Amino acid sequence: MLELVDVSYKTNEKEILSDVSMKFLPGYKYAVIGTNGAGKSTIGYVIMGLSSYKPYKGKILLNGKDITNLPVTDRAKLGITLMWQEPARFEGMTIENYLTLGGKLSVQKSEVAEAMEFVGLNPNLYLKRFVDKTLSGGERKRVELASIILLKPKYAILDEPDSGIDLMSLSIINDVVNYIAQYGGTPIIITHREEMAYNTDYGYLICAGKVLMHGKTEDVLNAFRNTCETCAHPNIPETNELRK
């Protein structure tokens, strides 16, 4: 189990996360839901252990072990991965090298081809292309999804996975999310869109860096729709009915 216990994070003395507690169990699909600026992506960065996202309070536990101070590389080795909202570009690196970690990932060529086909990219046309500006945002997102399929992480954090993706590709994202859960992994979807959250089992509603509510995704989405989307101050939880 991956767990956040009273995690707080600030930058430039501004509180971004405040006493955030969450639990993520293997094989379940989770959504972290909230309006833009609520602190959702920061939660993903803190879980991943990015260098400038160390909490000043609280703990991050993996199977009961404190990993709060572990660097991102060690967390990756433990099976945690992050799919960025804006995928990185790597000049001079082919998609094939990217997907196989430069040949270090022990996978067959047929597996690489199958992962590309799973996300709707023809391996014969794409594997020798470079992960650079010649790829559209949607194509780079699909390449990252293929990477997750091959890596089979225990915990896959997908930050706004539908950003830059056309409507037809939403089903591909859902297929990948289902695939992760089916092999026993835990997909964590960070999103402000109901369409992306529907295909999950459990949700956390975030506002101004605080967990306002958690429970079945359907219930959390109802609260998000009826309260947050109509709130004049969506990132000030003290004005929100859920905080009263």
Q: Tell me: the pLDDT tens digits for 19-69?
A: 999 999 999 999 999 998 899 999 999 999 998 999 999 999 999 999 999
pLDDT value, residue 169 = 77
pTM above 0.85, yes or no: yes
Regions of the chain short of the pLDDT cut 50: 239-241, 243-244
d(CA 159, CA 82): 7
- Would you kindly state where each structural domain of the chain is located, as residue ranges? 22-50+71-243
d(CA 117, CA 26): 26
Let me know: does 154 contact 26? Beta carbons within 8 Å: yes
pLDDT value, residue 232 = 65
pLDDT value, residue 91 = 73
pLDDT value, residue 97 = 93
d(CA 6, CA 60): 9
Q: DSSP letter at 187?
A: E
The b-or-e profile of 138-156 (16+ CB within 10 A means b, else e) is bbbbbbbbbbbbbbebbbb
- Any idea which fold 22-50+71-243 has? Rossmann fold (3.40.50)
Let me know: does 59 contact 7? Beta carbons within 8 Å: yes
CA 161 remoteness from chain centre: 7
- To 5 degrees, how large is the angle CA 112–CA 168–CA 101? 20
pLDDT value, residue 233 = 56
